[in-house]
Structure 1
Amino acid sequence: MAAVRCDLEDFAVEMFEPFGRADQRRWGGVYLRGLLLDGRRKSVEPMAARLGKDGNRQALAHFITTSPWDAAHVRARIAWRMQQVIKPTTLIVDDTGFLKDGDASACVARQYTGTAGKVTNCQVGISLHLASDGASAAVDWRLFVPESWDPASPKADVAKVARRTKCGIPEEIGHVEKWQLALDMIDETRSWGIEVPLVVADGGYGDAAAFRLGLEERGLCYVVGISTTTTARPEAARLHTPPYGGRGPRPKPAYLSPAQTVKKLVIEAGKQAAKPVQWREGSRPGTGRSGVKRMYSRFVALRIRPAGREIRKALDGPELPVRWLLAEWPATEPEPVQFWLSDLPPDTPLATLVRMAKLRWRIEHDYREMK
């Protein structure tokens, strides 16, 4: 136990070294120890009761609520430490909900969260994780500000806006879309000197063309979930320029056929296009040679041209870029059940596309451990 405490104290010294005052560094270490002690509730009062002689509730509350220290310094040091341990190949973006019943917490609103699987009263946190096949850890966070909490929004709620000061929300902080918060965190992580070339996210982010374009502008590859209604054209689609009649402006090149949903494109390719892929071994017992359950399914990979007004605006020319469409189509299902879009190179193997798409499972483990 003494060795564990010594390691924790060394870790706290490393994490809180940028703090300007000795009392901040001390109470930072005490707060960290309080988080790790057994006990379901992690708010200040029950933590203080478990900390014995260091259980100064007032000092802990001051450290959390009013002591002027920059959380970015701590996050950067955690990221540097995790980079050494994890050796990340991927950045994963996701969000999670924190269910709330009272009215004292910031940015609580009725909104969807996968934590409850429905729309409910909660906070939503956006997180950025360093990940490899064997490990992952959250290194950056943003609290999502719903429009009802933003005084500049037409959807502002008077009662919630009035609680901003009590909750300590700075005046300049307003509603920002989740995908933009994700890009902001990626930029911050890169400013710490951490360069990871691939981003993975679910459909809540992949459906935003602006998010995908933002990654491309930063020179980052991605494998992101998309909804079944995302539209695209086959790779073979070609532009056609109508003949010029000699009057008015010359007609612009255009595609002859309308864009289709990604679901329709995969169904047209047919179930025979699906190939079996095993992307990892699970944690539950199974009947395989290894004794654990295989994570296995069938997948279709097509080269397509994603459509959409935002993509057209971002292009130098009229031709849509070619990207990977990945779809999971289990043998037992009549239709594909999940879709991803990726700008990985054209020669990327199917197994690599699947492994990257499915790497997002690590986030659930991270959230479970943190909560």
Structure 2
Amino acid sequence: MSDDIVAELCTVLFSLLSRRDRRLRAEQYLRGLLTTPGRKSIRNIAAHLGGAAVEQSLHHFISSSAWDWRPLRIALADYLEHTAAPQAWVIRPIHIPKAGRHSVGVDQHFAPHLGQVFRGQQALGVWLASPELSAPVNWRMVLPEPWINDPKRREQAEVPEGLGAESTEECAVSAVVQMAQRWSIPRRPVLIDLRRGGLSAATGRLAAGGVHFVARISPSCRMTVADPALPGYRAGSLPAQRILELVKGTRTPVAWRDAAHGNTLRTTLASTVPVALPGPAGSRPRRLLLVGEWTNPAQPPSQLWVTGMTHLPVGSLLRIAKLNDRVEEDFARIGDRAGLRDFVGRSFRGWHRHMTLASVAHTAIALGASG
């Protein structure tokens, strides 16, 4: 990791903090995240940097101070736009196990990648991703109903007024629509996983917000073929996997970079089909493009997506979809090192401030590793 990169990030981002003491604390906390071994709690960072006096000042800076984390996130995204040439915004869930019950958002959650329920916090990060590197720039916590509907809990955790209960999918869409409408950075296609449902509502909100998307879907998701020249046109509603199997003859080889194996070049087969997705009652079906990838030509498609970017060729769409692998690789390699799961305070604002500075730490490590 280059100290020049850390110094530049401190200059660009922390100049937005109006007070000198906050700028100093922000740099201190960032360098603590980057150099403290093990868990990146405030106590451990303070012990690494200087002891009890440092702990008190850092605790106040993160949990009780009044600085706004949102301008720093926008500036971080703008910095990455100029240094990393991101091609997509990738939404990635993060699951943070917690033993206690007082930290904001702690509840019983289902983790799809684990296939089980866990106790802790569930959040969503929006990552700016290119084939070479990725970094998170925005965060939104999934607040379960017990936290939304309990005035005492809300007050103790300083949950802002106006935040209501959202599903994971609603939370993800809210994060990127807010970015598209309020952040002064170029809009990029959004990668979102909608295999658990909510496809029509989520893609409708994204389209209404002017956000292009590539949404991963379940093979059983039903839709209709929209091109009269293709098989299945008059067959009514069909599972997406079945639609793709009907057009296997149109598959073409697509080359893409495999982030999990050193960005080596790989080639798989892919195809697209114009489809129509049923909308809300009384509305017209929405025209989308179904995308399928085959890692084994003799088997059903291994991954399926839908997108509103019907003008893009299959190769461009598959390479955008593969940026999810870049995020997974970087989260596994850097996320814990930067402290993305290490905040131990109780407050909503404290969590967001920690996640903002941990995102800066992640960016520093990722840029340093990429050269």
Q: Distance in 2 between matches of 1:7 and 1:198?
A: 27
Q: Deviations over 1:197-226 (max 9, x none)?
A: 422222258842122122222333221101
Residue 314 of structure 1: CA displacement?
Answer: 4.6
Q: Partner letter of residue 336 of structure 1?
A: P
Q: Partner letter of residue 44 of structure 1?
A: I
Q: Distance in 2 between matches of 1:171 and 1:225?
A: 33
- Structure with more of its chain in helix, by fraction: 2
Moved more, 63-72 or 326-335: 326-335
Moved over 6 A (4+): none
Contact 1:199/1:220, CA 8 A, preserved across alignment: yes
Question: Per the alignment, in what secondary structure is the counterpart of residue 56 of structure 1?
Answer: helix
Which residue pairs with 2:168 in the alignment?
Answer: 178
Which residue pairs with 1:52 in the alignment?
Answer: 50
Larger Rg: 1 or 2? 1
**Taking structure 2 as the reference length, what is the TM-score of the superposition?**
0.79
Which residue pairs with 2:187 in the alignment?
Answer: 196
Residue 47 of structure 1: CA displacement?
Answer: 0.9
Q: Is 1:276 aligned with 2:253?
A: yes
Which residue pairs with 2:142 in the alignment?
Answer: 144
Q: Is 1:217 aligned with 2:208?
A: yes
Contact 1:97/1:114, CA 8 A, preserved across alignment: no
Which residue pairs with 2:319 in the alignment?
Answer: 355
* Structure 1 unaligned blocks of 5 or more: 152-157, 239-254, 286-291
- Higher relative contact order (CA closer than 8 Å, sequence separation 6+): 2
Q: Distance in 1 between matches of 2:228 and 2:158?
A: 53
Which residue pairs with 1:245 in the alignment?
Answer: none
Q: Partner letter of residue 62 of structure 2?
A: I
Residue 281 of structure 1: CA displacement?
Answer: 4.4
Q: Is 1:337 aligned with 2:302?
A: yes
Q: Distance in 1 between matches of 2:198 and 2:252?
A: 25
Q: Partner letter of residue 344 of structure 1?
A: M
Which residue pairs with 1:251 in the alignment?
Answer: none
Distance change in 2, residues 1:359/1:59 (3 Å): same
Q: Partner letter of residue 214 of structure 1?
A: R
Q: Deviations over 1:345-364 (max 9, x none)?
A: 34x32211211222211221
Residue 183 of structure 1: CA displacement?
Answer: 3.4
Question: Per the alignment, in what secondary structure is the counterpart of residue 295 of structure 1?
Answer: strand
Distance change in 2, residues 1:30/1:364 (3 Å): same
Q: Deviations over 1:121-144 (max 9, x none)?
A: 121111112222323221111111
Q: Distance in 1 between matches of 2:294 and 2:91?
A: 24
Q: Distance in 2 between matches of 1:55 and 1:224?
A: 48
Which residue pairs with 1:241 in the alignment?
Answer: none
Question: Per the alignment, in what secondary structure is the counterpart of residue 261 of structure 2?
Answer: strand
Q: Partner letter of residue 209 of structure 1?
A: S
Which residue pairs with 2:347 in the alignment?
Answer: none
**Taking structure 1 as the reference length, what is the TM-score of the superposition?**
0.79
Q: Distance in 2 between matches of 1:40 and 1:48?
A: 13
Contact 1:232/1:262, CA 8 A, preserved across alignment: yes
CA RMSD of aligned residues (A): 2.9
Distance change in 2, residues 1:304/1:172 (3 Å): closer
Distance change in 2, residues 1:54/1:148 (3 Å): closer
Residue 68 of structure 1: CA displacement?
Answer: 0.8
Distance change in 2, residues 1:295/1:112 (3 Å): farther
Which residue pairs with 1:107 in the alignment?
Answer: 105
Question: Per the alignment, in what secondary structure is the counterpart of residue 127 of structure 2?
Answer: strand
Q: Deviations over 1:133-163 (max 9, x none)?
A: 3232211111111223221xxxxxx7xx654
Contact 1:299/1:328, CA 8 A, preserved across alignment: yes
Residue 7 of structure 1: CA displacement?
Answer: 5.5
Q: Distance in 2 between matches of 1:188 and 1:323?
A: 23
* Aligned residue pairs, count: 331
Question: Per the alignment, in what secondary structure is the counterpart of residue 183 of structure 1?
Answer: helix
Q: Output aligned runs, 1:188-337, within 5 Å.
A: 188-190=178-180, 191-204=182-195, 207-236=198-227, 258-269=236-247, 271-282=248-259, 284=261, 294-307=265-278, 309-310=279-280, 313-315=282-284, 320-331=285-296, 334-337=299-302
Q: Output aligned runs, 1:1-150, within 5 Å.
A: 4=3, 8-52=6-50, 56-114=54-112, 116-150=114-148
Distance change in 2, residues 1:123/1:78 (3 Å): same
Q: Deviations over 1:225-251 (max 9, x none)?
A: 01122211111469xxxxxxxxxxxxx
Q: Deviations over 1:4-24 (max 9, x none)?
A: 2x7634532432223233322
